[in-house]
Structure formats: structure tokens, C-alpha cells
């Protein structure tokens, strides 16, 4: 799924970025934190903790970061 977004928080000192929906009809909030994260299934390490809130549900996982 690809959705338009806008950066709402850019906290370089704490390694935190927050993105929000750029489309009012498909609201979401995505938070990225530069902190060690380990995949629950395989235990693989990732550099970013990710929290996505979409359609009233919150999902947590690991990621690589964002690309322009």
C-alpha cells in the first residue's frame, strides 16, 4: 500500500520521525524510532522500531527507516 504523507515530527536528537496521512480520507500515523528492534518470528535485528496506527488499529514492528 502506498499512501501520501507529511512529516509532522523530525526529532534528530532523539532519532524519532513521525509521519501522518496526506489524505484525510485514509488517515494514519507512522512513528519511527532509531532504536534496536528484533523481529519476533526470526529474531533478526533491525535499526528502527516502527508503530503504525491505521483504521483504529495499532501495529508494531521493525524496519529499516524511510526512503524519499
> What are the boundaries of each domain within the chain?
5-63
Residues 7-25: pLDDT tens digits?
999 999 999 999 999 988 8
User: Residue 3: pLDDT band by 50, 70, 90 thresholds?
Assistant: confident
Q: What is the pLDDT of residue 37?
A: 96
Mean pLDDT, range 56-67, rounded to an integer: 88
**9 HSE (CA, 13 A, CB side):** 12
Q: What pLDDT is attached to residue 68? A: 59
Decide: 10 and 27 in contact? Cβ < 8 Å: no
C-alpha cell at 34: 532509531
Contact, 52 vs 42, CB < 8 A?
A: no
Amino acid at each position: 500500500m502506498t499512501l501520501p504523507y507529511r512529516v509532522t515530527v523530525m526529532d534528530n536528537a532523539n532519532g524519532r520521525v513521525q509521519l501522518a496521512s496526506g489524505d484525510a480520507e485514509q488517515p494514519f500515523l507512522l512513528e519511527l524510532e532509531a532504536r534496536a528492534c528484533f523481529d519476533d518470528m526470526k529474531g533478526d535485528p533491525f535499526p528502527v522500531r516502527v508503530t503504525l496506527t491505521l483504521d483504529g488499529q495499532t501495529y508494531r514492528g521493525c524496519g529499516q527507516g524511510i526512503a524519499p
